Structure 1
Amino acid sequence: MCLILVAWQAHPDFPLVIAANRDEFFARPAAAAAWWKEQPEIFAGRDLEAGGTWLGLSRSGRFAGLTNFRDPSRQRAGTPSRGDLVASFLRSTETTAAALARLQQEGRRYNGFNLMLSDGDSLGVHESVSGVSHLLEPGLYALSNDLLDTPWPKAVAGKSRLSRALTALPDDTPLRELLRDDRPAPDESLPRTGVSLAWERMLSSAFIRAPGYGTRCSTVIRRSRHGWTHVTESTWDEVGQETDRVTETFQIARP
């Protein structure tokens, strides 16, 4: 997952709104979002190579979403799958604060990542590279492949468009449209993350098309103040055509 935009307690009727793109190699097998048969409280896509997930929800109101930290020089072989972090939080009963404290110790075992998570009452993020955890105040947030709210072009543009999209709710069309923005940033605005300039250009847009790599799915989530949660997820092929769409609506059942 390479872009997660979140509006947390920033709308009077929809306290949680999420727009997210997952970018990955097309050769890596994955399953679309669904209720997991062996863990029916979890609604998420699934990485069929390592078994974890990049973003998901639970019936009790939990949410977690993961982005990798982009720095090829930091990659280590033999580390556990970062997708397990999302699944383990979704199946747990720990608070957001407790999970952040645990990640302070456990996060260093993994290659670089950012994990945004919520127990339904609070929202937080752990940045494994900086070693910093935050409980987040109400507001708008953007998480790409660097630290929270790092002003990469896609993050800045995404937050701006998210703010405007909130005014259209419950219509989520503007949210889905912002995730399809495939315009690259100008060279002078590009970050330098250790990949080639050509790849920095291709990776700079919200929606990515690159050789063998790109935006695999786009997910929009809105949760009403009454606990109703609506999810729409589109799956994309290598040329950016939609191949599947999943929609799901459920009400939060707090323990």
Structure 2
Amino acid sequence: MCILFVHVDPNPEKGAYRLVLATNRDEYYKRPAMKAYIDNETNILGGKDMEPGREGGTWLAFKSKDQENGKGKKHCVGVLLNITGEIVEKPAGRGKIITNYLNDKLDFVQYCEVLDKTNFNGYNFVSVELSKDSATTYQHSNLPKITSSYMGQHSMGFGNSPIFNPLHKVRAGRDTFEEILRRHLNKEELEKGLLSLLKDETRYLPDEELKRRAPMVYEYLSSMFIKLDPPGYGTRTHTLILIDYDWNLTFVEHTMQEPIDIKNPIWTESRFELRL
């Protein structure tokens, strides 16, 4: 389970943001991962899965890359969310979907056509792409196969169900996310507000879609912040990405220090401030 909220504005006012992104990573506590860092070979910023046999995958990453037409750079964020209850036989690993896209020259639609040739468990793949002249959020899922794009100013929420049938917490969280943005908070207050949203333990019930997809544990999965122990699974990483009017990037990751003791978790912060 994961949740993602994005606000995109290609023409923000001075002091406002081109991108505001807030997301949770939910995973088994015992699964090893590397906290966010900049890979010097690929210039990709993000965390890394260190599960033996699956090393190198990621759930979220950012990269700036030159556009082939020579018109400056395109700044890309990729986020991967699973679609709960959609399981296939002998699936390929999904961990490299984001990094392969950020390193590839194919556009989003072309890349997703390639993805659809591989057998994966259900996923939502979201990419936000910004350049001097455009701002677009792309979404692709494989079960069912849906590719969509959203241009101009927009705010959206994504979760662990198809985009046309969002979970209750996604709808409620998007409303709160938009309310936080309407407050015109300074940067520090904005970060605090977004983290408060990601740490919300309110159970957004009833939710028939979630109940259908995860009938045994849906109540525990109905909040933004998940804590399910046993079996030792829940929200272990929060990520915020802000790109302001002047193309300053703030990438903030709050993650539980490993080995994770869910009764006494230690949260660590990784912060990157970059000029794009």
- TM-score relative to the length of structure 1: 0.88
Alpha-carbon distance between aligned partners in 1 of 2:165 and 2:5, rounded to the nearest angstrom: 12
Residue 131 of structure 2 corresponds to residue 113 of structure 1 = no
Structure 1 regions of 5+ residues with no counterpart? none
Alpha-carbon distance between aligned partners in 1 of 2:177 and 2:264, rounded to the nearest angstrom: 22
User: Aligned residue for 1:91?
Assistant: 103
Q: Give the deviation of 1:77 after TM superposition.
A: 4.3
Query: Aligned-pair RMSD on alpha carbons?
Result: 2.1
| Residues 1-255 of structure 1: pairs in structure 2 closer than 5 A | 2-9=2-9, 12=13, 13-39=16-42, 41-49=43-51, 50=54, 51-60=56-65, 61-71=75-85, 74-94=86-106, 98-107=107-116, 109=118, 110-121=120-131, 122-137=136-151, 138-148=153-163, 150-166=165-181, 167-171=184-188, 172-187=191-206, 191-197=210-216, 199-211=217-229, 212-236=232-256, 237=260, 238-239=262-263, 241-252=265-276
Q: Give the deviation of 1:89 after TM superposition.
A: 1.5
Alpha-carbon distance between aligned partners in 2 of 1:100 and 1:7, rounded to the nearest angstrom: 21
Structure 2 regions of 5+ residues with no counterpart? 66-74
Please tell me the residue identity of whatever aligns with 1:123.
Answer: T
Alpha-carbon distance between aligned partners in 2 of 1:34 and 1:87, rounded to the nearest angstrom: 14
Q: Secondary structure at the match of 1:205?
A: coil
Q: Deviations over 1:107-151 (max 9, x none)?
A: 352111111113324221111112111111321111110122633
Q: Is the 8 A contact 1:142 1:149 kept in 2?
A: no
Please tell me the residue identity of whatever aligns with 2:192.
Answer: T
Q: Comparing both structures, which one devotes a greater share of its residues to helix? A: 1
Please tell me the residue identity of whatever aligns with 1:196.
Answer: P
Q: Deviations over 1:74-121 (max 9, x none)?
A: 323432221211111122344xxx222331342352111111113324
Q: Secondary structure at the match of 1:88?
A: helix
Please tell me the residue identity of whatever aligns with 1:205.
Answer: S
> How many percent identity over aligned positions?
23
**CA distance change for structure 1 residues 189 and 242 in 2, over 3 Å: closer, same or farther?**
farther
Q: Deviations over 1:31-74 (max 9, x none)?
A: 111112442x1000011121210001013421100100101xx3
Alpha-carbon distance between aligned partners in 1 of 2:214 and 2:138, rounded to the nearest angstrom: 29
Q: Is the 8 A contact 2:7 2:154 kept in 1?
A: yes
**CA distance change for structure 1 residues 135 and 240 in 2, over 3 Å: closer, same or farther?**
farther
Query: How many residue pairs are counted as aligned between the two chains?
Result: 245
